[in-house]
Amino acid sequence: MGTDRSILAVGSVALDNVRTPFGRVSEALGGSATYFGAAARFFAPVRLVAVVGRDFPERHLGLLRRLGVDTSAVQRASGRTFRWKGYYGYDLNNARTLKTELNVFSAFDPQLPETHRTAGTVFLANIDPDLQLKVLRQVRSPRLVACDTMNFWIENKKPSLLKLLSKVDILLCNDSEVRELSGEYNLIRAARWALSKGPKVVVIKKGEHGVACFTRQMVFCVPAFLLEQVYDPTGAGDTFAGGFIGTLAKGGRVDAASLRRAVIYGSVLASYNVESFSLNRVAGLKYADIQLRFKALRAMTRF
Ligand code: AMP
């Protein structure tokens, strides 16, 4: 059996408690897999692998399904849903975590149904690297494997994370994470360190300062789409990943031109996400909106 067009994504499906200088939400739909799926669905079929607790509102899963995201491998376990509590100051580039409650994720043992093992693309969104590895082992012969992570796992599960890096094609993470992971302050050195651990592509997200995409042969940088008002950066990284990986999965190639296009689509999706809390903006987005901002970002950066 060959691979198919779908993207398999494992990561958190969460209830978030977030405060920014411009508002706050509690028990809002969040999670790395959630944000990823809501963005990637514009480009390819997305199947999520995750676990939620008995307290997780059914309407949140209903929303993901209405967006076209396959939630058939999102298990409901007894216990509480993963929760993340964080805040941002006026420097919206740095989330400050106040509390991470793994809850049902601490005993999660993902078993992929047969339908999910033939995915052509695998996105290992931010979650315990041991879980990311467990999912990856069950996929037969994916064409493209990418992962994300965050400081929480760098600090608690570094050996597993390094093992994971040796098995992925693309690493996405933000600037402070790649600095912490590599022990290098300079981003070129940090990217080079990451490229020596396995991935062929390293994408470093720098919040409002945009993205730098490194391979051994090239670097491509774009600023973030300039916005008048940002309400909540939560999920920007995962939403970027959705646009980026979605574009690569749809095009079926990972050459320099495809990577550039993917970075732009990722940036466009992320720019919509930060305009409201939770999935409020991205859930109502149309493909035409994405194309509009794609052109606007091109006009903003061409020289
Ligand atoms: P981002 O802003 O793109 O880095 O991701 C924000 C999302 O990541 C939030 O919706 C959180 O629920 C989720 N999150 C926060 N900490 C963790 C963690 N340690 N593992 C998995 N997901 C997390």
What tens digit of pLDDT does each residue of 52-94 get?
Answer: 999 999 999 999 999 999 999 999 999 999 999 999 999 888 8
Distance 141 CA to ligand 1 centre (A): 28
- Residue 187 Cβ < 6 Å to ligand 1: no
Number of domains, the chain: 1
CA angle 35, 36, 42 (to 5 degrees): 105
pLDDT at 102: 97
What is the Cα 180 distance to its own chain's centre? 19
Residue 1 located in a structural domain = no
- Residue 235 Cβ < 6 Å to ligand 1: yes
- % of the chain with per-residue pLDDT over 70: 99
Residue 45 located in a structural domain = yes
> Domain range for residue 126?
7-301
- With residues binned 3-state (H G I as helix, E B as strand, rest as coil), the percentages for the chain, rounded to 5, are 40, 25, 35
1 pLDDT above the threshold of 70: no
- 126 CB-near residues (< 8 Å, 6+ apart): 11, 12, 32, 148, 149, 150, 153, 237, 238
Atom of ligand 1 nearest to the CA of 15: 12
Residue 88 located in a structural domain = yes
154 pLDDT above the threshold of 60: yes
Residue 214 located in a structural domain = yes
Domain harbouring 279, CATH code = 3.40.1190.20
pLDDT mean across residues, the chain: 97
Residue 195 located in a structural domain = yes
Whether pTM exceeds 0.95: yes
Residue 258 located in a structural domain = yes
Q: With bands split at pLDDT 50, 70 and 90, how would you rate the model's confidence at 5?
A: very high
What is the Cα 14 distance to its own chain's centre? 13
What distance in Å separates the CA atoms of residue 96 and residue 86, rounded to the nearest whole number? Answer: 5
pLDDT digits (tens, 9 = 90+) for 33-52: 999 999 999 999 999 999 99
Instruction: Give 59-122 as a DSSP string.
Output: HHHHHHHHTT-EEEEEEEESSPPPEEEEE--S-TT--EEEEEE-GGGGG------GGGTTEEEE
- Residue 238 Cβ < 6 Å to ligand 1: yes
Both structure tokens of 35: 């944000």
Q: Among 12, 205, 273, which is best to mutate for testing ligand 1, by the most ligand atoms less than 8 A from CB? A: 12
